[in-house]
Every structure is written in C-alpha cells, then in structure tokens.
Amino acid sequence: MNRFRMGIVFLVLMGLFVGFIPRANAQTEADKESEKKKPRLEIPDSLRATYKFTDGLKRYHIHRDTVGAMALFEEALKIDSTHSPSLYQMASHYLREDVGRANALAEKAYRQDTTSRWYTAIYAQSSVILGDYEKALPLYRRLLEMDKTNPDTYRVLALLYQQRKQPYSAISVLDSAEMRVGKYDEMTALKRHLLITTGQTDRAIKEAQEQVEEAPYEPKNHLALGQTYMTAGKDSLANVTLRRAIEMDSTSVEALLTYADFTMRRQDMPAYLKAMRMLFAQDSYPLEKKIEILEMLTKDRKFYGRYFFDVGALASTLMIKYPSQKRVVDLYGEHLLAGGDVKMALRHFKLHLKDEPPQLDYYMAVIDMEEYLKNADSVDYYVVRATEIFPDDPKLYIRKANRQYVKGDLNATVESFKHALTLTSDSLMQGEIWGFIGDTYHAMAERRTAQLKAKIKRDTSAYPVKLKPQKAQELCYAAYDNALRLNGDNASVLNNYAYFLSEEERDLGKALEMSSKAIKLTQNNPTFLDTHAWILYLLDRKEEARTFMRQALSLDSEGNSTLQLHYGDILFALGEKFMAETYWKRALEAGADKAEVERRLEYSKKNASGVKIHNGEPKK
C-alpha cells in the first residue's frame, strides 16, 4: 500500500515538473524580450575613468584582488591619464615594491592637485625613500602649512634640515612642534642631539632635567638625562643617572645597552660585564646578539683570560636560558675546555648526546675528549654508537679506522678506510683517506719485516697480518699514487712517500721531487725538512743535507731522536767524527734504539769518518 501511494506521488510530481518546463522556457524568452526593451545605462565619457576607479577600489579593499584592482586603475588612466585618484592609489601600492614607479605616479597626481594633502604626502614620502631630499624638503614644508598638528611632518622636516647640515633650522622646527603638538620621545631625543652638536650642551641638559622633574618616576626620562650627560662628556653625572635608570627598570634593554656602551668607553670592564649579564637575562634581547657579544669577548684571548670567570657567567646565563640551542651548547662547552676543565666539558657534551635531532658535533667532541683522557674503551663505545646513528658519515669511519690502527688491527683499519671512501664524493677527502690507507699498508710492511728479522715466520699477534712485506709496501705506494692523483698537494703523502722510497734507496730522484714540493707546501715542518735532508744525503749532496738538517733541528721542539740520529750520520759522512758521536749520544738520550746507536759508535771507534751510513751500516 505504501509503495502504491509513493508511486502515485512520484508520477504526479513528474507530471507537474514536465508540464512546468515549457512554461519556464516561455517565461525566459519573455524576460529576454523585456530586457531588450529596457533602456541601457549610458556612462558619460567624463565619468568612465571614475567608474573604473570605483570598481578598482572595490576589488582592492573588499575582494582583496590586488592584481585586478591595479588593472582597473590602469584602464582608468588609459581613459584619462590625469586621473589623480587612480595615480594616488597606484603610487600607494607600488611604494612597497617599486619606489621609483611610485614616485613618478605620485608626482603626476600632485601636479594635478597641489592643494591635496594626500597627494603631497605620498609624493614627499616617496621622495624621501628615494633619497631625493632636495625635492622632499619643500614638499614637507608645504605639508606643514596644510596641517600643523601632525608630529611626523615636524620630525621628518627636522631630519631633512639635519641632512642638509642646517641644525639650527631643525631645532627651530622641533621647538615649533613642542609648542603645537607637545613632546614626543623621538623628537626630544633628536632635539637633544642637535643641541649638543651645535654646542648648546647646557640647554640640552636643562631640557632633559625638566623632563625628569615633570615625571620623576619615569625610567625613560632618567635614561634620556643620562644619555645627555654621557654625550656632553659629564661622565660622573652620566654614571649616576644611568645606574638610577637601571635601578628603576632593570629589564630595560635600552638602558642596559646604553650603560654597557658607556662603561666600555670608560674601559670599566667589571661594570660592563655586569651590565652584559643583566642584558643576557632579558628575553627581549635577541639570542643572536647575545651570541655575537659572547663570541667577541672570547675572541680576545688576553681579555678572556683576565675576565675568564665574568665571561663564564655570561656563558652560564645563556646555558640556563637556552639549554637546547646548539650554538649556546657549543659556546659553553668551548668555555669549559678553555678553562682546562675537560671532565666537566665531557659531562656537558654527554648530556646533549640525546638531543633531537642528534648532533654529530657532540659525538665528535665526546670521542676527542675520551681519547685525550686515554679512556680507550669509552672511545670505542662512542665511535660505534656514533656510526650506528650516523651510518653515512665518512669522518666517523675514519675515527673508527684510527681506533683499529691503535689496537693493531691493521686489516680492519684498511677496510674501515675503504668504507669511508664509498661515503664521500669529495676528492680532497678521498685523497686524504687513500693517504691513510698507504700509511696502514706501510705499518703492515714494517711489522712483518721486524717479525722476519726476529725469525718469526707467522704473525701470531691478536690481529695477524698475512701480507708479505714487499706486497704490503707495493700496496702502500699504490695507495699513495691514488692519493696524489686526487690531490697532488697532499704534503703528508708527498713526505711519507718520499721517505719510504729513501729507506729503500730507490727512485731517489722522484723522492727528492716529492720532498721538495712537500717542504714548499708546509714550511717550517721539522719532519718534512728531515726527509728532504736525508734524501740529499743519500744523493751525496751532503753540504745541502747539513743545511736542511740544521733547519729541522732548530724547529724541532720535541727533541725527535730520528733527527738527532740522521744529523750524526750526515756529520760523520762530512768527516766531523766528534760532533757525529755527540749527536748520536743525544739521539740515544732522546729515545733512539740503543742497538742502532751503539753500532754507530762502535764503528766510529774503529774507523775514520767520511763514510756514509744508512740504517746503521756503512755504505761504500
């Protein structure tokens, strides 16, 4: 039953709807005919620009359609190029993005109606922004005639007179402003400055004092008076007054900055640092500025050392207020290290290892400090942990390789260095890594050579090397070749390559060429100079060798035993037996191999000097 009723209703509705359609169409046609008969609105030519302008205002202010509004203003100007309202609106818009265009439009509007305060104001404003002060000055004078109650007009006019080096005219304008519109902070500050620059110090002070008397509980008035005393050179009065301003409002950034500037000029550094500490506690003073000041104070090492604890108080203040800011964490850690408190610095950086996102710098700092403190297990732990968190950072695998090298696991060292190679496309870093690989292969060659000399056929150490010495050394040179292909100015590789060739007394010409380049790239390096001298010695250029070895010894501050031993060999070859024995003995005292030194001394007792010695043995 319900379904039957619903079907009837549906059919009825459909019938009504179908019957309604032709009538609706007929009505539409009738409406069209009616519309044709209605008279159209005809806009006189004289008002067409105004209609476009009005539509533009709607677009601009109601619909927020800037592009559409500008297009309508442009159309208005095509109809009437002197349409001032459109020129004004466009000038106002372009003032923010194209001042030159805004100024040109504003000038056209002003020329159409020089009595309009709005047109005059935007023309004057755009002229100031462009820096055309000569054009702006008469415009602001005109604005002042139109409206003597606008404080901004007085202020800008005074600034324009100041720009033209007419301070007395500027003061006169500001006097008039005070009489007509009252006192405003910006204008009174400008007036005091002008009074002082024109030598009217007493008047400037008097006006500032009057402000204090009128409102003695206003900190800004005491600050203004203090600034006036300071500018006038009355330091004692400035000191008292500025401190009074700070006592009244210790959170005033302006007062603290003014007092800090004052104390800095007087070289009263304790007072300056105290003001800085108060300033650092203010949230309204930007963190970037605080960091900039702290970096400046720590850069001067003499000042930093003298006021270490005061500067440290600033670093502590920042650390308390901004505990998660990376640069603050870095600065505080650097301060602890500068004071020699490595354990406290280590604790500080460890606390930040859980920061999100994790910071590689913090892990590097912890690894370096644990290494400095000789905590080998901790170094290994943090290196592994860091590589897990930053698996794609080559620097960490270089650190890992260094730890493996120290342990004596030379095979793993090479593997870690090679993995680091895959993580960087930087040719300079790749060159450095290949150099490290070469050094590691040379260490393998040395270990196996020493073992074979001791008649140890197999490496039975915890981390055995299976390579033969000759093969390991070949791999060393191949790695060095790779390093120099990537970076031919790698001084360490050039030096090591040259020295290892000299040890084998092979390719000495190539060795000398590499050594010469190394000492040019890194001047005054005693180790590199020793290599160069030793190669010259092997090439029988003994006098040159003596010169370079003397230079190396003069630069060596660590008493390197190898340098002493080599110099003794050079002197012996030059026939200076006594001095040669002296330097061999010095080498022994510095830690040289006792058997090496004794072999030389024994040979010297039995033979005359003038013979070249290499690896402790005389060479023909």
What confidence category does residue 1 fall into, taking pLDDT thresholds of 50, 70 and 90? very low
CA quadruple 235, 241, 243, 249: dihedral sign: negative
What confidence category does residue 42 fall into, taking pLDDT thresholds of 50, 70 and 90? low
- What is the model's pLDDT at position 187? 86
Residue-wise pLDDT for 415-441, tens only, equals 999 999 999 999 999 999 999 999 999
- What is the model's pLDDT at position 44? 58
pLDDT at 498 over 90: yes
| DSSP notation for 73-97 | HHHHHHH-TT-HHHHHHHHHHHTTT
For residue 293, what are its two tokens? 């000041």
Q: What is the mean pLDDT of residues 578-598?
A: 92
Rounded Cα gap, residues 354 and 85, in angstroms: 62
Q: Residue 382: which H helix or E strand, with range?
A: helix 376-389
- What is the model's pLDDT at position 45? 59
Q: Are the C-beta atoms of residues 327 and 311 closer than 8 Å to each other?
A: no
Mapping DSSP to helix (H, G, I), strand (E, B) and coil, where does residue 560 land?
coil
Listed range (296-305, 471-480, 577-586, 609-618) with the worst mean pLDDT: 609-618
Give the mean pLDDT of the chain. Answer: 88
Listed range (159-163, 373-377, 559-563, 615-619) with the worst mean pLDDT: 615-619
Q: What percentage of the chain has pLDDT greater than the value 90?
A: 70
Mapping DSSP to helix (H, G, I), strand (E, B) and coil, where does residue 613 land?
strand
Q: Are the C-beta atoms of residues 332 and 319 closer than 8 Å to each other?
A: yes
pLDDT at 508 over 60: yes
Residue-wise pLDDT for 349-360, tens only, equals 999 999 999 999
Read off the pTM: 0.67
Rounded Cα gap, residues 49 and 84, in angstroms: 10
Q: What is the mean pLDDT of residues 529-547?
A: 95
For residue 264, what are its two tokens? 């800095």
Residue 504 carries which DSSP code?
T
Residue 43 carries which DSSP code?
P
Q: Alpha-carbon dihedral of residues 42, 47, 48, 49, nearest 10 degrees?
A: -170
Neighbours of 443 (CB within 10 A): 17
Q: Among 346, 353, 338, which residue's Cα sits nearest to residue 295?
A: 338
Q: Are the C-beta atoms of residues 109 and 84 closer than 8 Å to each other?
A: yes
Rounded Cα gap, residues 548 and 566, in angstroms: 11
What confidence category does residue 461 fall into, taking pLDDT thresholds of 50, 70 and 90? confident
| DSSP notation for 164-227 | TT-HHHHHHHHHHHHHHH---HHHHHHHHHHHHHTT-HHHHHHHHHHHHHH-TT-HHHHHHHHH
Rounded Cα gap, residues 284 and 287, in angstroms: 9
